């Protein structure tokens, strides 16, 4: 059995000015003990309870209990942000997958980052993947009755014995029966297969896709993603893909796309962008990804970013839904409503476009040369885009991830230590654009804050439209300066 990590009653961390909650006297720091005499288990149940026009809450403040009655229009916001998504306990994972990234983390991070969850509620709220090995009949009933979808399920293999080997858990052989039940009841589910070279690739990947075709063709999408291996990995069978292995995965996926397209009218399965980068192949056309809600899993992200960059979010990516999630945002750092809430760096974090000054506090000129900070994989996508602008004042500044090491090359895992190392040798007075995806509550995963970096940085949302806007600010400033002279 997995460990059950106790969670305290929700604590109010913010109250919207002028909101019904503020008018009723709720203040940050209040602990919400009950709502209408019920103890909510999580933010999902909390949202259902506070949807009523009259909300009666038992609140603890300074060791004293008090009753608070909030009146508001039915369905309107209460105006409270709480500190956690789960109030009872997080259902932790009892699998022991060799490829689990939690096992590959360096020491010294926040304790919450080492919590290995397998909780369907975090799947619904944050887009975390669940293996369903701890799923129950009661969970199924709640998902169906409350309409908790989409959910995100780790498949890895459909053959019972191979799935046991992948999860290192005997329940892996039978837990996909819950996936069948979810799909039979019309729950929207996205699947994922993490491919480990020599373990579930080649003929086993073919077998898994055949199993999906036979048993789980109602899945909304299936993402085929490569194994991530950090320098802290101690599993001898785990290694990064070779170029030829990446080519094989792409060719397998594309062959199955044609089969699914002929049989289902949609491609269903997609390979992560990283495979195309590893194989040195062009990304599929944007229309191949139409209706696929998995950009945060690395599927179609490059094409979506490209279209946003040139045409804007509305025109360029119509029909391409996106979600904001984060591997490390499931327990702390993310808004309580998960990826359904607007992306934010947090209550005390930087705001979009803010210039975070270091010492000495020198603010760069808006027409200064621009460097876009990104990961090594991100640089492969950004370089051709920025080169096509024909501007000699804009450059890509790739940051090698030495903190995690291995083949970790995604922007969301950049840390302050590596950024500081790269920025320390860069010119003073330039503009440095930092994607917000590597920040949580205004901090990097290693605990550093952007203001501690050796150069000032500007936080920019990690989408093509926002990057283009940030670059145009400098272009317009340069043009205006030229006119003045």
Indicate if the pLDDT at residue 313 is higher than 60.
Answer: no
pTM: 0.86
Quick count: other Cβ atoms within 10 Å of Cβ 65?
11
pLDDT of 331 reads 35
Instruction: For each of the domains in the chain, give its residue range(s) and CATH number, in order of start.
Output: 4-82 (2.30.42.10), 92-340 (3.20.20), 355-480 (no CATH)
Report which of 203, 113, 99, 104 is spatially closest to residue 403, judged by C-alpha positions. 104
Query: How far is Cα 353 from Cα 370, in angstroms, rounded to an integer?
Result: 14
Quick count: other Cβ atoms within 10 Å of Cβ 85?
27
pLDDT of 442 reads 87
**241-to-25, 79, 190, 207 alpha-carbon distances in Å:** 57, 48, 24, 19
SS (H, E, C) the chain: CCCEEECCCCEEEEECCCCHHHHCCCCCCCEEEEECCECCCEHHHHHHHCCCCEEEEEEEECCEEEEEEEECCCCCCCCEEECCCECCEEEECCCCCCCCHHHHCCCCCCHHHHCCECCHHHHHHHCCCECCCCCCHHHHHHHHHHCCCCEEEECCCCCHHHHHHHHCCHHHHCCCHHHHHHHHCCCCEEEEEEECCCCCCCHHHHHHHHHHHHHCCCCCEEEEEECCCCCCCCCCCCCCCCHHHHHHHHHHHHHHHHHHHHHHCCCCEEECHHHHHHHCCCCCCHHHHCCCCCHHHCCCHHHHHHHHHHHCHHHHCCCCCCCCCCCCCCCCCCCCCHHHCCCCCCCCCCCCCCEECCCCCCCCCCCCCEEEEEEHHHHHHHHHHHHCCCCCCEEEEEECCCCCCCCCCCHHHCCHHHHHHHHCCCCCCCEEEEEHHHCECCECCCCCCHHHCCCCEEEECCCHHHHHHHHHHHHHHHHHHHHHC
Give backbone dihedrals phi and psi of 194, rounded to 5 degrees, phi first.
-85, 120
- For residue 316, name the pLDDT band (cuts at 50, 70, 90): very low
Mean pLDDT (the chain, rounded): 87
Of 309-318, 330-339, 370-379, 452-461, give the lowest mean pLDDT range: 330-339
**110-to-11, 113, 115, 126, 328 alpha-carbon distances in Å:** 20, 6, 10, 19, 10
pLDDT of 357 reads 52
Indicate if the pLDDT at residue 406 is higher than 50.
Answer: yes
Quick count: other Cβ atoms within 10 Å of Cβ 290?
13
Question: What dihedral angle (degrees, nearest 10) is formed by the CA atoms of 144, 145, 150, 151?
Answer: -60
- For residue 136, name the pLDDT band (cuts at 50, 70, 90): very high
Query: How far is Cα 154 from Cα 123, in angstroms, rounded to an integer?
Result: 11
Query: How far is Cα 404 from Cα 414, in angstroms, rounded to an integer?
Result: 9
- For residue 83, name the pLDDT band (cuts at 50, 70, 90): confident
pLDDT tens string 52-66: 999 999 999 999 999
Across the range 80-86, mean pLDDT stands at 87
Indicate if the pLDDT at residue 343 is higher than 80.
Answer: no
Long-range contacts of 11-17 (CB under 8 A, 24+ apart): 11/82, 11/83, 11/84, 12/80, 12/81, 12/82, 12/83, 13/81, 13/82, 13/83, 13/347, 14/80, 14/81, 14/347, 15/79, 15/80, 15/81, 16/77, 16/79, 16/80, 16/81
CB 399 within 8 A of CB 419: yes
Across the range 155-175, mean pLDDT stands at 97
Indicate if the pLDDT at residue 483 is higher than 50.
Answer: no
pLDDT tens string 89-102: 888 999 999 999 99
Indicate if the pLDDT at residue 7 is higher than 90.
Answer: no
pLDDT of 47 reads 87
pLDDT of 358 reads 54
Of 47-51, 375-379, 447-451, give the lowest mean pLDDT range: 47-51
pLDDT tens string 206-230: 999 999 999 999 999 999 999 999 9
Quick count: other Cβ atoms within 10 Å of Cβ 480?
12
CB 300 within 8 A of CB 381: no
Task: State the angle between helix axes of 243-264 and 203-215 in degrees (0 to 180), rounded to the nearest 10.
Answer: 20
- Rounded to an integer, what is the distance from CA 239 to the centroid of its chain? 23
pLDDT of 333 reads 32
Indicate if the pLDDT at residue 8 is higher than 60.
Answer: yes
Across the range 427-431, mean pLDDT stands at 95
- Rounded to an integer, what is the distance from CA 153 to the centroid of its chain? 15
């Amino acid at each position: 059995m997995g460990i059950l990590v106790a969670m305290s009653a929700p604590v109010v961390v913010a109250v919207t000015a002028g909101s019904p909650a503020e008018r009723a006297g709720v203040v940050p720091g209040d602990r919400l003990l009950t709502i209408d005499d019920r103890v909510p288990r999580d933010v999902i149940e909390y949202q259902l309870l506070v949807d009523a026009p009259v909300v009666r809450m038992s609140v603890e403040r300074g060791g004293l209990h008090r009753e608070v009655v909030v009146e508001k229009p039915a369905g309107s916001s209460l105006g409270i942000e709480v500190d956690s998504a789960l109030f009872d306990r997080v259902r932790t994972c009892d699998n022991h997958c060799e490829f689990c990234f939690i096992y590959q983390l360096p020491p010294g991070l926040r304790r919450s980052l080492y919590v290995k969850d397998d909780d369907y509620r975090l799947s619904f709220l944050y887009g975390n993947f669940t293996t369903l090995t701890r799923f129950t009949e009661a969970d199924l009933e709640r998902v169906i009755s409350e309409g908790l979808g989409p959910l995100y399920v780790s498949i890895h293999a459909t053959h019972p014995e191979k799935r046991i080997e992948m999860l290192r858990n005997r329940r892996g052989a039978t837990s996909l029966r819950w996936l069948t039940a979810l799909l039979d009841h019309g729950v929207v589910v996205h699947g994922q297969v993490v491919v480990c070279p020599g373990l579930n690739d080649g003929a086993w990947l073919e077998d898994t896709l055949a199993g999906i075709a036979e048993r789980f063709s109602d899945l909304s999408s299936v993402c085929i993603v490569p194994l991530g291996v950090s320098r802290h990995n101690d599993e001898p069978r785990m290694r990064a893909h070779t170029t030829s292995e990446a080519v094989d995965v792409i060719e397998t996926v594309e062959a199955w796309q044609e089969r699914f397209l002929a049989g289902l009218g949609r491609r269903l399965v997609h390979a992560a962008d990283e495979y195309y980068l590893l194989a040195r192949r062009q990304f599929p056309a944007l229309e191949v990804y139409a209706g696929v809600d998995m950009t945060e899993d690395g599927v179609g992200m490059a094409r979506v970013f490209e279209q946003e960059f040139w045409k804007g979010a509305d025109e360029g990516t119509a029909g391409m839904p996106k979600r904001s999630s984060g591997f490390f945002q499931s327990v702390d750092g993310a808004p309580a409503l998960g990826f359904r809430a607007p992306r934010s760096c947090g209550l005390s974090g930087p705001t979009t476009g803010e210039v975070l000054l270091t010492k000495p506090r020198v603010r760069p000129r808006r027409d200064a040369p621009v460097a876009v900070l990104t990961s090594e994989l991100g640089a492969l996508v950004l370089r051709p885009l920025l080169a096509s602008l024909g501007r000699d004042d804009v450059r890509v500044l790739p940051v090698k991830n030495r903190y995690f090491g291995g083949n970790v090359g995604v922007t969301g895992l950049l840390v302050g230590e590596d950024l500081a190392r790269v920025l320390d040798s860069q010119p003073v007075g330039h503009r440095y654009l930092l994607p917000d995806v590597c920040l949580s509550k205004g901090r990097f995963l290693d605990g550093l804050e952007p203001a501690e970096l050796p150069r000032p940085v500007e936080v920019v949302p990690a989408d093509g439209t926002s990057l283009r806007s940030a670059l145009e600010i400098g272009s317009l400033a340069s043009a205006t300066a030229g006119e003045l002279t």
